[in-house]
Chains A and B, each alone.
Chain A
Amino acid sequence: DGGITQSPKYLFRKEGQNVTLSCEQNLNHDAMYWYRQDPGQGLRLIYYSQIVNDFQKGDIAEGYSVSREKKESFPLTVTSAQKNPTAFYLCASSSPAYNSPLHFGNGTRLTVT
């Protein structure tokens, strides 16, 4: 079955450490996205990529980095520069058309202490 896989489901890190969240899709979608979800704030866009080897900052990119070396993969690194990294992170993908719905992974809950 086609879909998006995020791993791990839960992730714990100490403050000051970088951590990478995995996102893999087998839907053959060109576009991929990372959203952050906090209580009462909905989903906010961190980074997105419309094609391999290219990506753009979203609304809250500070303290995050991404890469898009393969069409299927779009890993997100939460760096030590991110001031409030504890959150639920959702990866999504879509066809290139603007009106194509997003397909989401199951998310990763990151807790930094």
Chain B
Amino acid sequence: AQTVTQSQPEMSVQEAETVTLSCTYDTSENNYYLFWYKQPPSRQMILVIRQEAYKQQNATENRFSVNFQKAAKSFSLKISDSQLGDTAMYFCAFVNGSSNTGKLIFGQGTTLQVKP
């Protein structure tokens, strides 16, 4: 069975600094997608970034980037120049490419607090 693990329940960072959130996953599949979602206090889930497993190049979206290590099954999220609005819960998620559905498997989440 596929699993997603986020080992950091809570983290904090000073405004304007950089923080990295960890995520590991377990799968025997070779074709899959990985996602990071953000859930601010409003509880609206927002897609932050996604990575195709067959792409070696790490995905980047403005201040957000990932470090995708396929062999290690690691998918960490780096937030640069942290802003107060980045305060949220962050979820790592996995979808199996052979499942032909959008069924995501989520990690437990990491609560990030950005301090002024």
Contact = CB atoms under 8 A, between A and B. Distances in A.
Interface of A: 31, 33, 35, 40-45, 48, 50, 58, 88, 90, 92, 94-102, 104, 106-107
A48 B100 CA distance: 13
Nearest to B4: A42
B52 interface: yes
B102 A100 contact: yes
A42 to B, nearest CB: 4
Contact of A102 (B43, B102, B108): B102
B99 interface: yes
A90 B45 contact: yes
Given A94-B102, A102-B102, A43 B91 contact: yes
A33 B108 contact: no
B102 A42 contact: no
6 contacts: A43-B106, A48-B101, A95-B102, A97-B102, A101-B47, A101-B50
B70 interface: no
A101 B35 contact: yes
A104 B95 contact: no
Interface in B59-116: 91, 95-97, 99-104, 106-109
Nearest to A38: B108
B44 interface: yes
A90 B91 CA distance: 14
A58 B103 contact: yes
CB-based closest 7 A-B pairs: A104-B45, A42-B106, A94-B102, A43-B106, A99-B33, A42-B108, A101-B47
Nearest to A50: B101
Contacts of B101: 31, 48, 50, 98
